[in-house]
Chains A and B, each alone.
Chain A
Amino acid sequence: MPRPLYSEKGDHIESKAPVRVSRYRGITRLNHWVTACSLILLLLSGLALFHPSLFFLTGLFGGGQTTRWLHPFIGILLFFSFLLLFLQLWRLNLPKPEDATWVANIDEMVKGNEEKLPELGKYNAGQKFIFWAMSGLIVVLIVSGVMIWEQFFDGLVSIQTRRVAVLVHALAAVSIILVFILHVFAAIWTRGTISAMTRGSVTGGWAWKHHRKWLREVAERQKPAPSGTGPSGKEPAE
């Protein structure tokens, strides 16, 4: 079976009345939440060392010394956790022609006239932006972070390079926090989104309204309804 264009093979219609569409399998959700928790811990421990007024946040981790050694290890955890997530999500986050139209008419989205926007696959351009921004910034953060990891990599780069790395690390951290705020805001503002990452599924209406091409594709390959004549179809590949 060729790869679907707008959906993952595992996405399927979970129930029909009311319609619920499976969006993320359990392992992907677990992966997402490990990444999310790491990011929040990194954000708290990193901000503590970023600005004196937030140094008190080191208290959450048991003091400055603990915060200092813990932060990079959580960074490593986040990097690999996000890497697994990346491998699962990158394909459907590649740009598509309709993304340009979507971005050009983003004001309609904000005004609530989503009907005027093109039909979309599993992700809209905003979600794709968050995905690629996170991906790029995490690479920048892990690379610059290793360069300033005093405990194990103190001699890795020259002091001048370390100065650049520490500045880049701070700027990338501020940027990823902004992306994170946008991600959380969009998930809450677009009602019905969060269940995709908690229960793993969304309502049919949500899929119809926001990701219609995705819904069409998933509905098209749904397993035939049990019609009383016994099992008649194979479960779609996970």
Chain B
Amino acid sequence: MTETAPQPKTAAANPPVQALDLGFDARDVVRISATPDVPQPTRQLDKVAKLIDVSKCIGCKACQSACIEWNDTKPAVEDNVGTYENPHDLTPEMFTLMRFSEWVNPETDNLEWLIRKDGCMHCEDPGCLKACPAPGAIVQYSNGIVDFIHENCIGCGYCVTGCPFDIPRISKVDHRSYKCTLCSDRVAVGQGPACAKACPTQAIVFGTKDDMIAHANSRVEDLKSRGYDQAGIYDPPGVGGTHVFYVLHHADKPSIYSNLPDNPRISPIVEGWKGVTKTAGMAVMGIAAAGAALAGFFMRPNRVDEHDEVEAEELVEAEDHSRRES
């Protein structure tokens, strides 16, 4: 078994039937949380991407079902929260969620039903990975997939702080963080993500990022020809682009799609915390500790001498006397 599985080019492609080695594995890791100077892999995989064409989505939730089935998660049966969303939010057991919003287009006065499949965007510049304090709990492969390695996760929630899209969820059961894996285990054996494979309208497609961009462009062109002047691609540059990206019919207003951030980026507060605070903080503490140790060894200590003791005895004695006389 020396041949490796090919990188999947489409979501629908059937997997190879013969046994093959993994198409990518730990050797293809380009970034590891809390680990500086990761040795770079010798090969560069094709960048992959999942494209979600919001204009083609019918809100059937087949993607959610496929996600649950493939990842073997058990989302709780919940109550209705007033919308079609079910469960009410992303959870440690639900890595992707159809978000439904009703929006009145001020130009046409039409009610538009906007449905967005929410989940990890697989940022090129992942905020979760930068915030994570546990070495090896979050990795990024050279094909762009950002994956959580659960056995290294400590459940601190720093990834929640780092993520510009509010994606990771910490399990109250095993105290580890969960999110969409982009089906890295499927991609590694030549198959597309489960959600993309299940999508009945091909609103979710998968392939190389280049192919997906080209496909997205043709979709945008089509939408524009049908009156959606502001149709466009949502591949936010603030996080270096993403490996899950959208075609939106109102790309000028991402926030109408259930608060999709207009200009997502890793918060400057998080950058400051994980950047200058970490480095300068260590330096200041190190210098202070070393300085105190050196001063402790070499500085003349502040000693009490015999004279002080005598003074104290005289003082106590004198007070004693004055008290006894009174």
Contacts and interface: CB of A to CB of B under 8 A. Distances in A.
Contacts of A52: 34-36, 133, 135
Given A151-B155, A222-B316, A191 B302 contact: yes
A169 B35 CA distance: 22
Interface stretch (B187-195, B197-205, B240-248, B306-314): B306-314
Q: Which residue among B267, B281, B305, B317 has the maximum number of chain A CB atoms within 10 Å of its CB?
A: B281
B285 A159 contact: no
Contacts of B175: 65, 68-69, 151
A68 B155 contact: yes
A164 B308 CA distance: 51
A63 to B, nearest CB: 8
A214 B154 CA distance: 50
Task: Describe B's contact surface by its main secondary structure.
Answer: helix
B273 A215 contact: no
Interface in A159-185: 159-160, 162-164, 166-167, 170-171, 174, 177-178, 181-182, 184-185
B149 to A, nearest CB: 12
Given A150-B157, A170-B277, A181-B288, A222 B320 contact: yes
B134 interface: yes
Contact of B315 (A167, A188, A208): A208
Interface stretch (B46-54, B93-101, B108-116, B291-299): B291-299
Interface residues of A, number: 61
A162 B161 contact: yes
Task: Describe A's contact surface by its main secondary structure.
Answer: helix
B25 interface: no
B304 A192 contact: yes
A220 interface: yes
Contacts of B309: 18-19, 203-205, 208
B12 interface: no
Interface in B154-213: 154-158, 160-161, 163, 166, 170, 172, 175
Interface of A: 13, 16-19, 48-53, 55, 58, 63-65, 67-69, 112, 114, 148, 150-151, 154, 159-160, 162-164, 166-167, 170-171, 174, 177-178, 181-182, 184-185, 188-192, 203-209, 215-216, 219-220, 222, 224-225, 227
